[in-house]
Amino acid sequence: MTSVRTDWIDLPGSLRAPMAGATPVGRWPEKDRIEVSVLLRRSPSARKLPTMAKLGASPIRRRTYLNRAEFARRHSADSNDLETLRRFATENSLVAGDVHGSGRIAKLTGAAADFARAFGVDLQRFDHPSGPYRGYAGSIRLPGNLRGIVSGVFGLDMRPQLRPHFRRNADPAAVGYSIPTVAAAYSFPPGTTGAGQTIGILEFGGGYSPADLGQFFETLGLAVPQISSVSVDGASNAPTGDPSGPDAEVELDIEMAGAVAPEATIVVYFAPNTDQGFVDALTTAIHDTAHSPSIVSISWGGPEENWATQARDAFETIAQDGAVQGVTILAASGDQGASDGERSGTLAVDFPASSPYAIGCGGTRLVLSGSSIASEVVWNDLSEGEGATGGGVSEQFALPSYQDTASVPAAPNGFDGRGVPDVAANADPETGYAVYVDGQSAVFGGTSAVAPLWAALIARLGQSLGKPLGYANPLLYPPNVARTFREITSGNNDGYSAGPGWNPCTGLGSPDGSRLLSALES
Distance CA 356, CA 402 (A): 9
Enzyme catalytic residues = 249, 253, 448
In this structure, the chain runs to a length of: 522
Phi and psi at 324, nearest 5°, equal: -65, -25
- 390 CB-side CA count, 13 A: 40
Q: Which residues pair with 333 in a beta bridge?
A: none
Q: Which residues pair with 141 in a beta bridge?
A: 10
Other beta carbons less than 10 A from residue 110's beta carbon: 20
Number of continuous H segments (helices) and E segments (strands) in the chain: 13, 25
- 173 CB-side CA count, 13 A: 0
Phi and psi at 61, nearest 5°, equal: -65, -20
Other beta carbons less than 10 A from residue 439's beta carbon: 11
Cβ proximity of 489 and 499 under 8 Å: yes
Q: Which residues pair with 150 in a beta bridge?
A: 40
Distance CA 161, CA 280 (A): 13
Distance CA 393, CA 483 (A): 22
Cβ proximity of 138 and 15 under 8 Å: yes
Cβ within 8 Å of residue 182, ≥6 positions away = 366, 368, 425, 426, 433, 453
Question: Helices 246-260 and 210-220: crossing angle, nearest 10°?
Answer: 40
Distance CA 251, CA 253 (A): 5
Cβ proximity of 186 and 372 under 8 Å: no
Nearest-5° Cα angle at 353, 406 to 305: 105
